[in-house]
Protein backbone atom coordinates (compact mmCIF):
# COMPACT_ATOMS: atom_id res chain seq x y z
CA UNK A 1 0.00 0.00 0.00
CA UNK A 2 1.47 3.44 -1.03
CA UNK A 3 1.67 6.69 1.01
CA UNK A 4 -1.54 8.16 -0.38
CA UNK A 5 -3.50 5.19 0.72
CA UNK A 6 -2.18 5.31 4.26
CA UNK A 7 -2.73 9.12 4.55
CA UNK A 8 0.85 9.64 5.65
CA UNK A 9 3.33 12.08 4.12
CA UNK A 10 6.85 11.27 3.09
CA UNK A 11 9.80 13.08 4.74
CA UNK A 12 10.62 14.86 1.45
CA UNK A 13 7.12 16.34 1.24
CA UNK A 14 7.25 17.49 4.84
CA UNK A 15 10.64 19.19 4.22
CA UNK A 16 9.33 20.95 1.12
CA UNK A 17 6.26 22.17 3.02
CA UNK A 18 8.43 23.47 5.85
CA UNK A 19 10.73 25.25 3.38
CA UNK A 20 7.71 26.81 1.67
CA UNK A 21 6.29 28.07 4.96
CA UNK A 22 9.67 29.48 5.99
CA UNK A 23 9.95 31.32 2.64
CA UNK A 24 6.45 32.75 3.11
CA UNK A 25 7.41 33.99 6.56
CA UNK A 26 10.56 35.64 5.18
CA UNK A 27 8.58 37.36 2.41
CA UNK A 28 5.98 38.58 4.90
CA UNK A 29 8.72 39.98 7.12
CA UNK A 30 10.32 41.70 4.13
CA UNK A 31 6.99 43.20 3.10
CA UNK A 32 6.43 44.52 6.60
CA UNK A 33 9.87 46.11 6.63
CA UNK A 34 9.77 47.59 3.14
CA UNK A 35 6.11 48.38 2.79
CA UNK A 36 4.92 50.84 0.18
CA UNK A 37 4.28 54.35 1.62
CA UNK A 38 0.62 55.06 2.01
CA UNK A 39 0.79 58.20 -0.12
CA UNK A 40 2.11 56.19 -3.08
CA UNK A 41 -0.32 53.30 -3.02
CA UNK A 42 -2.07 50.70 -0.87
CA UNK A 43 -0.05 48.77 1.66
CA UNK A 44 1.24 45.38 0.54
CA UNK A 45 0.52 43.95 3.92
CA UNK A 46 -3.18 44.36 3.32
CA UNK A 47 -3.63 46.53 6.38
CA UNK A 48 -4.94 50.04 5.82
CA UNK A 49 -5.61 51.50 9.22
CA UNK A 50 -4.51 55.09 8.54
CA UNK A 51 -7.19 57.63 7.64
CA UNK A 52 -7.20 59.15 4.18
CA UNK A 53 -5.90 62.51 5.44
CA UNK A 54 -2.85 60.84 7.00
CA UNK A 55 -1.84 59.15 3.77
CA UNK A 56 -0.74 62.42 2.15
CA UNK A 57 2.37 63.91 3.75
CA UNK A 58 2.31 67.53 4.80
CA UNK A 59 3.34 69.74 1.94
CA UNK A 60 5.39 72.87 2.62
CA UNK A 61 3.89 76.20 1.78
CA UNK A 62 4.94 77.39 -1.68
CA UNK A 63 7.53 80.10 -1.60
CA UNK A 64 6.15 82.88 -3.70
CA UNK A 65 8.32 85.79 -4.72
CA UNK A 66 7.73 88.82 -2.59
CA UNK A 67 6.88 91.41 -5.17
CA UNK A 68 8.07 94.76 -3.96
CA UNK A 69 6.56 97.46 -6.07
CA UNK A 70 8.19 100.68 -5.05
CA UNK A 71 7.01 103.37 -7.44
CA UNK A 72 9.36 106.25 -8.01
CA UNK A 73 8.89 109.09 -5.59
CA UNK A 74 8.80 111.52 -8.51
CA UNK A 75 5.84 111.72 -10.85
CA UNK A 76 6.51 110.84 -14.46
CA UNK A 77 4.92 114.02 -15.79
CA UNK A 78 7.59 116.06 -13.95
CA UNK A 79 10.37 114.28 -15.85
CA UNK A 80 11.19 115.81 -19.25
CA UNK A 81 11.89 113.56 -22.21
CA UNK A 82 14.69 115.86 -23.38
CA UNK A 83 16.69 118.57 -21.64
CA UNK A 84 19.85 120.62 -22.14
CA UNK A 85 22.10 122.39 -19.66
CA UNK A 86 25.25 124.44 -20.21
CA UNK A 87 27.87 125.68 -17.83
CA UNK A 88 27.45 129.19 -16.56
CA UNK A 89 29.79 131.48 -18.53
CA UNK A 90 30.99 133.72 -15.70
CA UNK A 91 34.56 132.35 -15.54
CA UNK A 92 34.86 132.39 -19.31
CA UNK A 93 33.33 135.85 -19.46
CA UNK A 94 36.00 137.12 -17.06
CA UNK A 95 38.75 135.43 -19.04
CA UNK A 96 37.40 136.86 -22.28
CA UNK A 97 37.28 140.36 -20.78
CA UNK A 98 40.92 140.08 -19.66
CA UNK A 99 41.88 138.80 -23.11
CA UNK A 100 40.22 141.75 -24.85
CA UNK A 101 41.86 144.17 -22.43
CA UNK A 102 45.27 142.63 -23.03
CA UNK A 103 44.79 142.82 -26.80
CA UNK A 104 43.87 146.47 -26.49
CA UNK A 105 46.98 146.98 -24.37
CA UNK A 106 49.07 145.30 -27.05
CA UNK A 107 47.77 147.72 -29.70
CA UNK A 108 48.30 150.81 -27.50
CA UNK A 109 51.77 149.66 -26.39
CA UNK A 110 52.70 148.90 -29.99
CA UNK A 111 51.73 152.39 -31.13
CA UNK A 112 53.62 153.98 -28.23
CA UNK A 113 56.67 151.80 -28.83
CA UNK A 114 56.74 152.81 -32.49
CA UNK A 115 56.18 156.51 -31.91
CA UNK A 116 58.19 157.08 -28.74
CA UNK A 117 60.54 154.09 -28.81
CA UNK A 118 60.55 154.17 -25.01
CA UNK A 119 61.57 151.23 -22.85
CA UNK A 120 58.33 151.43 -20.87
CA UNK A 121 56.20 151.05 -23.98
CA UNK A 122 58.23 148.06 -25.10
CA UNK A 123 57.90 146.39 -21.68
CA UNK A 124 54.17 147.10 -21.62
CA UNK A 125 53.85 145.62 -25.11
CA UNK A 126 55.61 142.43 -24.05
CA UNK A 127 53.53 142.13 -20.85
CA UNK A 128 50.22 142.64 -22.65
CA UNK A 129 51.18 140.16 -25.35
CA UNK A 130 52.09 137.54 -22.72
CA UNK A 131 48.78 138.01 -20.90
CA UNK A 132 46.87 137.73 -24.17
CA UNK A 133 48.61 134.47 -25.07
CA UNK A 134 47.95 132.97 -21.63
CA UNK A 135 44.26 133.81 -21.53
CA UNK A 136 43.70 132.78 -25.13
CA UNK A 137 45.17 129.37 -24.35
CA UNK A 138 43.01 129.09 -21.23
CA UNK A 139 39.86 129.85 -23.22
CA UNK A 140 40.74 127.34 -25.91
CA UNK A 141 41.70 124.62 -23.42
CA UNK A 142 38.66 124.86 -21.18
CA UNK A 143 35.45 124.33 -23.12
CA UNK A 144 31.99 124.89 -21.75
CA UNK A 145 30.47 121.85 -20.04
CA UNK A 146 27.23 120.81 -21.69
CA UNK A 147 24.75 118.14 -20.60
CA UNK A 148 22.04 116.68 -22.83
CA UNK A 149 19.30 114.36 -21.66
CA UNK A 150 17.15 112.12 -23.84
CA UNK A 151 15.04 109.69 -21.87
CA UNK A 152 17.36 108.05 -19.37
CA UNK A 153 20.47 108.66 -21.50
CA UNK A 154 22.63 111.55 -20.31
CA UNK A 155 25.40 112.88 -22.54
CA UNK A 156 28.04 114.88 -20.71
CA UNK A 157 30.65 116.84 -22.62
CA UNK A 158 33.25 118.17 -20.22
CA UNK A 159 36.78 119.34 -21.00
CA UNK A 160 36.39 118.12 -24.56
CA UNK A 161 35.47 114.55 -23.53
CA UNK A 162 32.04 113.07 -24.23
CA UNK A 163 30.63 110.55 -21.73
CA UNK A 164 27.33 108.73 -22.16
CA UNK A 165 25.55 107.41 -19.06
CA UNK A 166 22.31 105.44 -18.76
CA UNK A 167 20.71 106.65 -15.54
CA UNK A 168 18.28 103.70 -15.48
CA UNK A 169 21.04 101.07 -15.74
CA UNK A 170 21.80 99.50 -12.33
CA UNK A 171 25.33 98.69 -13.49
CA UNK A 172 26.24 102.36 -13.86
CA UNK A 173 27.42 104.10 -10.72
CA UNK A 174 25.35 107.25 -10.20
CA UNK A 175 25.59 109.15 -6.93
CA UNK A 176 23.89 112.28 -5.64
CA UNK A 177 25.76 114.24 -2.98
CA UNK A 178 23.87 116.74 -0.85
CA UNK A 179 20.59 118.47 -1.57
CA UNK A 180 19.82 120.81 -4.48
CA UNK A 181 19.59 123.86 -2.20
CA UNK A 182 23.21 123.45 -1.06
CA UNK A 183 26.14 124.93 -3.00
CA UNK A 184 28.07 121.70 -2.35
CA UNK A 185 25.51 119.63 -4.29
CA UNK A 186 27.16 117.26 -6.75
CA UNK A 187 26.20 114.61 -9.28
CA UNK A 188 28.84 111.93 -9.72
CA UNK A 189 28.65 109.36 -12.49
CA UNK A 190 31.08 106.68 -13.56
CA UNK A 191 32.34 106.79 -17.13
CA UNK A 192 32.95 103.68 -19.22
CA UNK A 193 36.71 103.85 -18.65
CA UNK A 194 36.30 104.08 -14.87
CA UNK A 195 36.66 107.84 -14.52
CA UNK A 196 34.34 109.74 -12.22
CA UNK A 197 32.61 112.68 -13.87
CA UNK A 198 31.30 115.31 -11.47
CA UNK A 199 28.71 117.97 -12.16
CA UNK A 200 27.87 120.91 -9.90
CA UNK A 201 25.37 123.76 -9.67
CA UNK A 202 27.44 125.88 -12.04
CA UNK A 203 27.06 123.31 -14.81
CA UNK A 204 23.47 122.06 -14.48
CA UNK A 205 20.23 122.98 -12.78
CA UNK A 206 20.53 121.09 -9.45
CA UNK A 207 16.80 120.96 -8.72
CA UNK A 208 15.81 119.53 -12.10
CA UNK A 209 18.75 117.13 -12.37
CA UNK A 210 18.27 115.87 -8.81
CA UNK A 211 14.62 115.06 -9.53
CA UNK A 212 15.45 113.32 -12.81
CA UNK A 213 18.26 111.23 -11.31
CA UNK A 214 16.07 110.11 -8.39
CA UNK A 215 13.36 108.97 -10.80
CA UNK A 216 15.63 106.89 -13.02
CA UNK A 217 17.65 105.45 -10.12
CA UNK A 218 14.40 104.13 -8.62
CA UNK A 219 13.81 102.33 -11.92
CA UNK A 220 17.38 101.01 -11.82
CA UNK A 221 16.89 99.65 -8.29
CA UNK A 222 13.71 97.81 -9.35
CA UNK A 223 15.53 96.33 -12.33
CA UNK A 224 18.39 95.16 -10.10
CA UNK A 225 16.00 93.46 -7.66
CA UNK A 226 14.19 91.73 -10.54
CA UNK A 227 17.51 90.38 -11.83
CA UNK A 228 18.42 89.07 -8.38
CA UNK A 229 15.07 87.28 -8.04
CA UNK A 230 15.43 85.63 -11.44
CA UNK A 231 19.01 84.57 -10.64
CA UNK A 232 18.07 83.12 -7.21
CA UNK A 233 15.23 80.98 -8.54
Whether pTM exceeds 0.75? no
Do the bridges between strand 82-86 and strand 174-177 make them parallel or antiparallel, or are there none, so unpaired? unpaired
Query: What is the pLDDT at residue 210?
Result: 92
Query: What is the pLDDT at residue 1?
Result: 44
Query: What is the pLDDT at residue 186?
Result: 92
CA distances 14 to 18, 23, 189, 206, Å, are 6, 14, 96, 105
Give the residue ranges of the chain where pLDDT is below 50. 1-6, 53, 64-65, 67, 69, 71-72
Query: What is the pLDDT at residue 149?
Result: 92
Query: What is the pLDDT at residue 3?
Result: 46
Q: What are phi and psi of 155, to 5 degrees?
A: -105, 120
SS (H, E, C) the chain: CCHHHHCCCCHHHHHHHHHHHHHHHHHHHHHHHCCCCCCCCCCCCCCCCCCHHHHCCCCCCCCCCCCCCCCCCCCHHHCCCEEEEECCCHHHHHHHHHHHHHHHHHHHHHHHHHHHCCHHHHHHHHHHHHHHHHHHHHHHHCCCCEEEEECCEEEEEECCEEEEEECCCCCCCEEEECCCCCCCCEEEEECCCCCEEEECCCCCCHHHHHHHHHHHHHHHHHHHHHHHHHHHC
Among 107, 100, 101, 77, smallest CA distance to 212 is for 77
Among 170, 173, 233, 225, smallest CA distance to 198 is for 173
Query: What is the pLDDT at residue 60?
Result: 62
Amino acid sequence: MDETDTGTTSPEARSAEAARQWAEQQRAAARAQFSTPSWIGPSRSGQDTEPAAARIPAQPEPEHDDVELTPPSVKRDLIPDTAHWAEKARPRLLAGTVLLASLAGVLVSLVLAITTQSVGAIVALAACALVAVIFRGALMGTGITTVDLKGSIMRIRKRGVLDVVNLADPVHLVELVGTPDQPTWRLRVEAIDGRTVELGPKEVDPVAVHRIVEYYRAIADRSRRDRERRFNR
